[in-house]
Structure 1
Amino acid sequence: MAVIYFKTVLFGFLVFLLNINCMSINGPALTRYDPCGLAVVYFDKITDKLWRGVVNFNLYRLSEAYIEIHFEKKAKLYGASQNTSISVINNWHGFILKPNGETPIPYSFFVSIDNSEANTTDVPIVTQFKINNVTLCNDAVKASQTIESLNVTKTSSKYKQICGRRSLDHTELVSVRTESRAGDWPWHVAIFLWNPNMTNEEYYCGGNIISRTAIVTAGHCVRKDGVTVDASRIVIVAGVSNRRDSKQVGRQIVMAKEVILHPSYTDTLATADLAVIKVNSFQYTEYVQPICLWGPVYDKAMLFGKAAVIVGFGQTEDNKPSDILRSTYTLIQNDTTCVTFSANVYENLLNEFTFCAGYGANSTVNPRNGDSGGGLVIPVLQPDHKVSWFLRGVLSKCGVSPGSKDCDPHYYMVYTDVGPHYGWIYHHSGLKFQSHIIESTS
């Protein structure tokens, strides 16, 4: 996956400039900090010392808002996106913000951390966050957010599996448009095929853990030379950010037991480009966890214009598979946008079972060869105010320029929508039907 970045400068106000170097990595990664893994507030790194805090008031219906936020280190605020009354408390460790007038959507403010002390991180680590005197994040909440609290390490049937959640260490601080850390996307796996003419395996595709015994990938990822690959040739590597590092903590290697190709699969269409690979068993850890599966209710029109994350070990700018897992944002498009871009490419690929995503002709942010089978994942607010990640699409088709064999980043990608296939996937994945909405404990 080859990507570019937005660079920023501070000149009176924040101005964003697009630095275009095709198929290469330039500038800083987009680093995002999510206190307690909340959906309502996050911080994006703007410069080495400046962060932009964003509060998603659109998640709640509030006639007025009163924000109280405390930081681990002394901090400075540099204004907000709306006229705001700001009070300093707790010796510059805390602030009270009260936007004046109608509650803004979204609402942002700018903060920096006093890093004059030795070994002080510039991350604006939040120790407490309240909206209208309701505590959503504090040290007690953080202490309770362990792998054990998610019950994903338990084997007893009395424990409910919770999907789409990372451990706290990998929930609060994640970078995209760059190299990932192990545990950032714990449901993503690398699929290798044993080559009969070689003594080792070759990287082939990506996949998504949805149960202890199953992954979902693209149907064409279990096809080779027009034939479905025998399960004995498939090796799954999970829990890593470097697929070649055999000593990486968290690494799990499992062999495929069974390959189940969707009965409606065809080589030319994306409508049912899905397969389930059954394995013996994954051990859920902070590096290996399941993704939630979208469905059974689905309406792809609700996706149009939404941002999503894609992850993969696909080709980089040197046209070789990446050893390091990369991630980036993409934008889900209306079918009409993609068909208008190229009717020859998209008219036969887009229907009620597929959708397209990307940034269009001026983009160099896209999956490439080797990213197939990876998931398009969407963060969903849950009743406990936190995010669970849902698998909505599996990468199926890419646009290819005339005379080339490689995915062209200027084309939109086509994804198989997992929503319409929810029942089929569940039936073959050892899962019992259940809602993935987590009941609030507050």
Structure 2
Amino acid sequence: MYYIKIILCLCLSVLNVSSMALRGGPLTRYEPCALGALHFDKISDRFWQGVVNLHLYSEYANQVEFNVYFDKQVKIYGASQNSTFKVKDNYHNYTFKPKDGVPSRYVFFVKIESFETEVPTVRTFSINNQTLCDDIIKASQKVESLNVTDDNRFYKHVCGRRALDHAELTSVRTESKAGDWPWHVAVYHKDENLTLSWYECGGNIISRTAIVTAAHCVRRSGETLDPERIIIVAGISNHKDMNEIGRQMYIAEKVIVHPSYNDVDATADLAVIKISKLKFTEFVQPICIWGPVYDKSNLFGNQATVVGFGSTEDNKLSDILRSTYTMVQNDSTCINYSPKLYRSLLNEFTFCAGFGPTSGINPRNGDSGGGLVVSTVQTDHLITWFLRGVLSRCGVSPGHKECDPKFYVVYTDVGPHYGWLYHHSGLQFRSNIM
């Protein structure tokens, strides 16, 4: 396994951001049909770890049997819970049956025998004869299916879902493709003469007409920028590629800063940028907003994903979108590390994240305004992505302007601001957890 060093960027004061730099090999996950029940993590070329999340199915408390039919020939090496498995169809079709009850998490290892592919593509997957993934289900997961408009008065759309080509196979700690994170946008600023522009921050699509970002990303010298000085670029993995196929560009029509925000603390570091109607495509999709909720304790210790543009681990500027994992920490972890800094920044409206000052996986120079996103399995067995935090603040050592990698990053929690975000985004106030 590679040892990684992750560099994210945020600043305590309002500064131009550089962005995300990564070390180590990419982490690749394959989720057939974008299911929450089954996924495969790549270990090496043609060797993967398979995981079945049986805790999602409490109805199978006494006995469970599941079947995986692979598109290409594979070999199974080891399985948890002292289970048995049967193989048919020349090493394509496997049936697994755990012994001694139903485990919450079942693990097995797969080696791909065919040299035609490096991914253990699943043709069908079923649990206790209930089919959760097959060609019919895959065919139904087109971008068009996310549009659920039922009349001409209101435009409705499923949030937090990606086109299947991007939802099944995801890699982090590497360069992203357009459509991998279709809700992430680049926020540009123009100068006062509207002649020059530059990349400033990240942002998140939450409706056809609204982008949520950090409030400090739309301000300069203590004042909120006029809308015509802000440009939103969506549907891209390279924000400087003017010809990228999914690219959409909009000039802001209105900028709404949270009324509780100030330039000193991070209590409500949120802003909504209103634009003309986005066209939802394979490359541009909205993310769900987590909430309404004030309790953040269930986040502590959980893994989340962050995305951003910027410089590489070699400190060379990069225009390519990158993503990586981070870990949400208990407030006390961050306060104990630096009481002077985090006591003033952490409250019921914020939380901190990172892998710790000695782990070698630490926040540093990254993208303000970008989202901390979490995935949740819904009642239809598929994964939905939720925006839970917006990158806001980090620790800066005395005499420096850039984030210190020894510190944790502070995020604005969108859960307590759910109603405000919905009100200013043209969305209907309701819980969006399916």
The answer, yes or no, to whether TM exceeds 0.5 is yes
| Structure 2 CA distance for partners of 1:280 and 1:305, relative to 1, 3 Å | same
Is 2:339 the partner of 1:340? Answer: no
Partner of residue 146, structure 2: 150
| Structure 2 CA distance for partners of 1:42 and 1:157, relative to 1, 3 Å | farther
Match of 1:276, SS state, is strand
1:270 and 1:235 mapped to 2: Cα distance?
Answer: 24
**Equivalent pair of 2:83/2:98 in contact (CA under 8 Å):** yes
Partner of residue 292, structure 2: 296
Letter matched to residue 39 of structure 1 = G
Deviation, 1:214, is: 0.5
Is 2:350 the partner of 1:354? Answer: yes
2:374 and 2:352 mapped to 1: Cα distance?
Answer: 14
1:324 and 1:291 mapped to 2: Cα distance?
Answer: 21
Partner of residue 306, structure 1: 302
1:184-195 aligned within 5 A: 184-195=180-191
1:205-244 aligned within 5 A: 205-244=201-240
Letter matched to residue 51 of structure 1 = W
Partner of residue 57, structure 2: 60
Q: Which moved more, 1:355-364 or 1:195-204?
A: 195-204
1:153 and 1:43 mapped to 2: Cα distance?
Answer: 34
1:21 and 1:285 mapped to 2: Cα distance?
Answer: 31
Find 1:47's aligned residue among 19, 44, 48. 44
Deviation, 1:434, is: 3.1
Deviations 1:109-165 (A, max 9, x none): 11021224xxx1110000101111111101100000001111179994466311000
1:170-209 aligned within 5 A: 170-196=166-192, 199-209=195-205
| Structure 2 CA distance for partners of 1:159 and 1:428, relative to 1, 3 Å | closer
Is 2:260 the partner of 1:274? Answer: no
2:70 and 2:83 mapped to 1: Cα distance?
Answer: 19
- Note the aligned Cα RMSD (angstroms): 2.0
Partner of residue 15, structure 1: none
| Structure 2 CA distance for partners of 1:63 and 1:54, relative to 1, 3 Å | same
Letter matched to residue 183 of structure 1 = G
2:4 and 2:429 mapped to 1: Cα distance?
Answer: 46
2:359 and 2:221 mapped to 1: Cα distance?
Answer: 32
> TM-score, normalised on structure 2?
0.92
Deviations 1:204-262 (A, max 9, x none): 00000000000000010011122111111000000000111111110000110000011
| Structure 2 CA distance for partners of 1:262 and 1:21, relative to 1, 3 Å | closer
**Equivalent pair of 2:306/2:324 in contact (CA under 8 Å):** yes
Partner of residue 14, structure 1: none
Match of 2:44, SS state, is coil
1:318 and 1:20 mapped to 2: Cα distance?
Answer: 12
1:403-422 aligned within 5 A: 403-422=399-418
| Structure 2 CA distance for partners of 1:320 and 1:233, relative to 1, 3 Å | farther
Which 5+ residue runs of structure 2 have no aligned equivalent? 8-19
Deviation, 1:302, is: 1.1
Letter matched to residue 31 of structure 1 = T
Match of 1:277, SS state, is strand
1:81 and 1:329 mapped to 2: Cα distance?
Answer: 26
**Equivalent pair of 1:399/1:408 in contact (CA under 8 Å):** yes
Partner of residue 87, structure 1: 86
Deviation, 1:437, is: 3.2
Deviation, 1:195, is: 2.3
Find 2:27's aligned residue among 25, 30, 34. 30
| Structure 2 CA distance for partners of 1:257 and 1:381, relative to 1, 3 Å | same
Deviation, 1:28, is: 2.4
**Equivalent pair of 1:330/1:358 in contact (CA under 8 Å):** yes
Q: How many aligned residue pairs are there?
A: 420
**Equivalent pair of 1:383/1:437 in contact (CA under 8 Å):** no
Greater relative CO, 1 or 2 (CA 8 Å, sep 6+) = 2
| Structure 2 CA distance for partners of 1:19 and 1:236, relative to 1, 3 Å | closer
Q: Which moved more, 1:268-277 or 1:314-323?
A: 314-323
Deviation, 1:364, is: 4.3
Deviation, 1:317, is: 3.1
Deviation, 1:198, is: 8.2
| Structure 2 CA distance for partners of 1:146 and 1:318, relative to 1, 3 Å | same
1:297 and 1:372 mapped to 2: Cα distance?
Answer: 23
Deviation, 1:196, is: 3.6
Partner of residue 398, structure 2: 402
2:151 and 2:323 mapped to 1: Cα distance?
Answer: 31
1:295 and 1:321 mapped to 2: Cα distance?
Answer: 36
1:427 and 1:44 mapped to 2: Cα distance?
Answer: 39
Deviation, 1:370, is: 4.7
| Structure 2 CA distance for partners of 1:264 and 1:240, relative to 1, 3 Å | same
Deviation, 1:86, is: 1.1
**Equivalent pair of 1:350/1:356 in contact (CA under 8 Å):** yes
2:194 and 2:428 mapped to 1: Cα distance?
Answer: 40
Which 5+ residue runs of structure 1 have no aligned equivalent? 1-5, 8-17
2:316 and 2:5 mapped to 1: Cα distance?
Answer: 21
1:244 and 1:19 mapped to 2: Cα distance?
Answer: 27
Partner of residue 3, structure 1: none
1:24 and 1:233 mapped to 2: Cα distance?
Answer: 28
1:25 and 1:141 mapped to 2: Cα distance?
Answer: 35
Deviation, 1:170, is: 0.7
| Structure 2 CA distance for partners of 1:318 and 1:223, relative to 1, 3 Å | farther
Q: Which moved more, 1:185-194 or 1:424-433?
A: 424-433
Partner of residue 260, structure 2: 264
| Structure 2 CA distance for partners of 1:20 and 1:376, relative to 1, 3 Å | closer
Deviation, 1:401, is: 2.7
2:366 and 2:151 mapped to 1: Cα distance?
Answer: 33
Q: Using the aligned pairs only, state the percent identity.
A: 60
Match of 1:348, SS state, is helix
Deviation, 1:411, is: 1.4
| Structure 2 CA distance for partners of 1:19 and 1:148, relative to 1, 3 Å | closer
| Structure 2 CA distance for partners of 1:210 and 1:321, relative to 1, 3 Å | farther
**Equivalent pair of 1:153/1:283 in contact (CA under 8 Å):** no
Letter matched to residue 276 of structure 2 = N
**Equivalent pair of 1:356/1:414 in contact (CA under 8 Å):** yes
| Structure 2 CA distance for partners of 1:26 and 1:427, relative to 1, 3 Å | closer
